[in-house]
Chains A and B, each alone.
Chain A
Amino acid sequence: MTRLSVGDASLTNILARQGAELRAQVNRAAQEVTTGQHSDLPKALRGDVSPLLAIDASLSRLAAFRTTTQDAALQTAAQQTAFAGLSSLAGLATTLLGAPDFQTQAQISAVAADARGRLASAIGLLNTQAADRAVFSGAATDRVPLGTADDLLAALETAAIGATTAGAVAAAVVTWFADPLGYAAFYQGGAPLSGAPVAPGEVADLSTTALDPAIRDTLAGFAMAALIDRGLLAGAPEERAALAQRAGKALLASGDARITLAARVGSVEAQIEAARTRNGAEETALGILRSDIGSVDPYAAASRLEAARSQLESLYLVTARVSRLSLVEFLR
């Protein structure tokens, strides 16, 4: 039989299905226009989400590096402040060098007392804490690296017992500072800090502790002069002046090492700063790439929305017209 009829349900089904499909399209496009994101991101990436995940992982790691670079910069800045303080304290060297020419013993005593005060200040500088972290203690960040100046001098006095000449005292001081059971045992900190991560694959060296030779030699210089104030070599004016002069020389000699040390920490500061800038640039670049990959073109989304809307309206019109097309309506 040749069929001339088309079942009622056929048209109803087609209209209903097309309506549902268009409404889904409108929903999708509306969501994309309002959020700026693909409604189906994996589909937009053809199933390979790895590159986008890698970008997200990098962004999250860069956020962590922002914190670690700040921490490391704080640490190095605190160290630099201490170095600057030490250098200005070491300005006493010139006065000490002139000790043999002093007119009176009182002058030497005054310089020695000054040196003792400066030793205490130097130890105070080295015991600096930045953000609750002792910056010269290495890994033992919870305690200050050095004890008090008096303890240091007491230990030195013991080491220099029996020394009657400036040379012997100076030698005893130098030996004590180099002795693993001397200054190294007086140092209360831990092993050097392991490097702090500041950028992907990059580590900032924060290993400077109070055991650094530059710091050790500076302290030794102050300590030699301070020992005079503790009454060592009392009654031997010549030797006192000579010891003061040796202390001046030691301080002067440590100047170069301090500058080298400050320069080394400075280069770490520069590295941290460079890493910070680089991280910032990378973060921006990745952010742009992320939105390139993950976001939808608002113009395209808006055009799709408009197209789907007008199609849906046409469909409603067709539905309304076609529904009235029934023979029953005309058989009255």
Chain B
Amino acid sequence: MSVTSALGSALSGLSATSRQAEILSSNVANATTPGYARREVGLRAAVLAGTGQGVSVSGVSRDVDRQLLAERRLAAAGDGDRSIRAGFRTRMEQALGTPDSPGSLAARLAAFDQTLVAATGRPEQQARLQGIVTAAKSLISGLATATADIQTARATADRRIAEEVGTLNATLAQLQELNVELRSFSGAGRDVSALLDERQRLVDSISAIVPVREIRRDQNQIALFTTGGAPLLEGSAAVFGFSATHTITPDMTQALGGLSGIAINGRPYDTAGSASPILGGTLGGLFALRDEMSVAAQGKLDAVARDLVERFSATGLDATLLPGAPGLFTDAGAAFLPLNEVGLAGRLSLNAAADPDQGGALYRIRDGLGAITEGPPGNGALLGALRAALGAARPLASTGFTPGIRSFAALTGDLMSDASAHRLAAEAEQSFSGARLTALTDLEAQNGIDTDQEMQALLVIEKNYAANAKVIQAVNDMIDTLIRLGA
């Protein structure tokens, strides 16, 4: 009976347009929801007994550009890595100071040099000797603050690694559950778009930590690997192992013990070098900060501290000192031993014999640290020698810098220039990775919900709905006509 089937077709058209309106409203409502992918209703002609019988909804599809998504995830991981590195370099530069900051290491050194000159001119003035002590302590505290900053950065990195590993484990477990749900829902033929959105959001959050490769499997399943090849989710979720260290001292490293590495399902993996499968995201950046960059930065600081100590404890400088006795700058009160170079910058202290705060006497700066009684107050010979020792060019004993002979001021300048150059290079890299991420994010946003387009579609849906309703009315009129014929 063709009139009745016309009624059926028109009804199917009504329900299809209603479904379209429903999905459209969801799209408009989620116009600004992050991670929401635009849905589209798939339509096809319904076929019944070999003839067309209206329209039917074939399904709801999510509109996702997988290639773009994968690239954006890699860019986000790379940007996270670069941001962490650049952040550390900026912090390092601030710790040492720049030429325009009054408390910079160079400014402290210049003040120390200034007090030595002034005291050499008038050795009998207590105030000028006190000035040397104050300036020397300020120099020491400058090095100690920078050391503390480096070690704090390491401890923070260590704690953040633990947090990120926690996030990884929790998210991977959630993803495993989602995979299971998706398998059962897809089998039952239900709309799984929301679950897919949620899964995409979770993978996004993982991919910022370690760059991932997503592999699609049947039944809306995915497997995850890091781009380095470590398995993250393959049926069951991988478990990352890491133990945080509460207090980190300069001598603790992953290689020498004291700091934790990373394990996946109980198996240890490298955290640096080409064999490491976890590099490229924030996790890799944090490991590089904790194990490489901060160690190198501390090494340079220690080299500077060692040079300072050795300049003032050189034999022949102060005749009152016994061989091997500590000079003006000491390693926590004792003489410096080359084996103990690591962390020296944090342990420097002024020789107690010359420091009134530690029970010493000011005159020992002028008359010699080993002097038993005060000598003639106008004797500026040792002060002049100290000043010369600070300014003399001498070869560097440590390996942190390129070898060569430098004055202490030149060495400090090298240290600060090195920090600034590293910061600028890291910033340049970060702005590159940031620009790449921005470009890809923009592209992704272009694929997002366009309300204008949705409104256009709404006009079409309205029109279709009205047309289908009109068909129903016409069929109704036709049937009425038939009924009146019989009356």
Mark A residues whose CB is within 8 Å of B.
3-10, 13-14, 17, 37-38, 41-43, 45-50, 52-54, 56-57, 60-61, 63-65, 67-68, 71-72, 133, 137-142, 190-191, 193-198, 203, 294, 326-328, 331
Would A42 and B93 count as touching, CB distance under 8 A?
Answer: yes
> Which of B117-125, B192-200, B201-209, B259-267 has 4 or more CB atoms under 8 Å from chain A?
B117-125
Would A41 and B100 count as touching, CB distance under 8 A?
Answer: yes
Would B421 and A61 count as touching, CB distance under 8 A?
Answer: no
Would A57 and B377 count as touching, CB distance under 8 A?
Answer: no
Q: With A41-B99, A61-B113, A294-B99 as given contacts, are A7 and B379 in contact (CB-CB < 8 Å)?
A: no
B298 shortest CB reach to chain A, Å: 20
In the complex, the 3 A-B pairs of residues with the closest C-beta atoms, listed nearest first: A7-B448, A68-B121, A47-B421
Is the C-beta of B114 less than 8 angstroms from some C-beta in chain A?
yes
The interface residues of chain A lying within 8 Å CB-to-CB of B448 are: 7-10
Is the C-beta of B452 less than 8 angstroms from some C-beta in chain A?
yes
Would A42 and B420 count as touching, CB distance under 8 A?
Answer: yes
Would B100 and A138 count as touching, CB distance under 8 A?
Answer: no
Cα(A309)–Cα(B191), bound, Å: 51
The interface residues of chain A lying within 8 Å CB-to-CB of B373 are: none
The interface residues of chain A lying within 8 Å CB-to-CB of B455 are: 327-328, 331
Would A141 and B110 count as touching, CB distance under 8 A?
Answer: no
B291 shortest CB reach to chain A, Å: 25
Q: A65-B117, A197-B120, A326-B452 are in contact. List 19 more A-B contacts (CB 8 A).
A: A6-B450, A7-B450, A10-B442, A10-B448, A42-B93, A42-B421, A43-B424, A47-B424, A49-B413, A49-B420, A50-B416, A53-B409, A57-B109, A57-B409, A68-B118, A142-B377, A142-B378, A197-B384, A327-B451
Is the C-beta of B153 less than 8 angstroms from some C-beta in chain A?
no
Nearest A-chain residue to B413, judged by Cβ? A50
Would A137 and B378 count as touching, CB distance under 8 A?
Answer: yes
Cα(A54)–Cα(B414), bound, Å: 11
The interface residues of chain A lying within 8 Å CB-to-CB of B447 are: 3, 7
Would B100 and A54 count as touching, CB distance under 8 A?
Answer: no
Is the C-beta of B275 less than 8 angstroms from some C-beta in chain A?
no
Q: With A61-B113, A71-B121 as given contacts, are A7 and B456 in contact (CB-CB < 8 Å)?
A: no
The interface residues of chain A lying within 8 Å CB-to-CB of B100 are: 37-38, 41, 294
The interface residues of chain A lying within 8 Å CB-to-CB of B117 are: 61, 64-65, 68, 197
Cα(A37)–Cα(B381), bound, Å: 41
The interface residues of chain B lying within 8 Å CB-to-CB of A294 are: 99-100
Would B99 and A196 count as touching, CB distance under 8 A?
Answer: no
Q: What per-residue 1/0 map shows which CB atoms of B431-446 lie under 8 Å from chain A?
A: 0000000100110011
Q: What per-residue 1/0 map shows which CB atoms of B329-350 lie under 8 Å from chain A?
A: 0000000000000000000000
The interface residues of chain B lying within 8 Å CB-to-CB of A65 are: 117
Would B379 and A194 count as touching, CB distance under 8 A?
Answer: yes
Cα(A7)–Cα(B453), bound, Å: 9
B430 shortest CB reach to chain A, Å: 14
Is the C-beta of B300 less than 8 angstroms from some C-beta in chain A?
no
Cα(A57)–Cα(B438), bound, Å: 43
Q: Of residues 1 to 55 in B, which have CB atoms within 8 Å of A's CB atoms?
A: 31-32
Would A50 and B414 count as touching, CB distance under 8 A?
Answer: yes
The interface residues of chain A lying within 8 Å CB-to-CB of B387 are: 197
Would A190 and B384 count as touching, CB distance under 8 A?
Answer: no
Partner of A42, one of B378, B412, B424: B424
Q: With A41-B99, A54-B409, A60-B111 as given contacts, are A9 and B121 in contact (CB-CB < 8 Å)?
A: no
Q: With A5-B450, A42-B420, A49-B416 as given contacts, are A138 and B378 in contact (CB-CB < 8 Å)?
A: yes
Would A193 and B378 count as touching, CB distance under 8 A?
Answer: yes
The interface residues of chain A lying within 8 Å CB-to-CB of B423 are: 42, 47
The interface residues of chain A lying within 8 Å CB-to-CB of B99 are: 41-42, 45, 49, 52-53, 56, 294
Cα(A203)–Cα(B381), bound, Å: 12
Partner of B118, one of A37, A64, A139: A64
The interface residues of chain A lying within 8 Å CB-to-CB of B410 are: 50, 54
Q: Of residues 108 to 141 in B, which have CB atoms within 8 Å of A's CB atoms?
A: 109-111, 113-115, 117-118, 120-122, 124
Partner of B438, one of A5, A17, A37, A63: A17
Cα(A191)–Cα(B409), bound, Å: 33
Is the C-beta of B98 less than 8 angstroms from some C-beta in chain A?
yes
The interface residues of chain B lying within 8 Å CB-to-CB of A191 are: 376, 379
The interface residues of chain A lying within 8 Å CB-to-CB of B452 are: 5, 326-327
Cα(A5)–Cα(B445), bound, Å: 11
Would A194 and B376 count as touching, CB distance under 8 A?
Answer: no
Cα(A37)–Cα(B101), bound, Å: 12
Would A140 and B376 count as touching, CB distance under 8 A?
Answer: yes
Is the C-beta of B417 less than 8 angstroms from some C-beta in chain A?
yes
Would A53 and B442 count as touching, CB distance under 8 A?
Answer: no
Is the C-beta of B286 less than 8 angstroms from some C-beta in chain A?
no
Cα(A46)–Cα(B424), bound, Å: 8
The interface residues of chain A lying within 8 Å CB-to-CB of B456 are: 327
Partner of A139, one of B106, B378, B421: B378
Cα(A23)–Cα(B169), bound, Å: 40
Would A194 and B438 count as touching, CB distance under 8 A?
Answer: no
Q: Of residues 376 to 392 in B, which have CB atoms within 8 Å of A's CB atoms?
A: 376-381, 384, 387
Is the C-beta of B107 less than 8 angstroms from some C-beta in chain A?
yes
The interface residues of chain A lying within 8 Å CB-to-CB of B121 are: 64, 67-68, 71-72, 196-198
Which of B109, B117, B412, B448 gathers the greatest number of chain A CB atoms within 10 Å?
Answer: B117
Cα(A307)–Cα(B115), bound, Å: 47
Would A47 and B417 count as touching, CB distance under 8 A?
Answer: yes
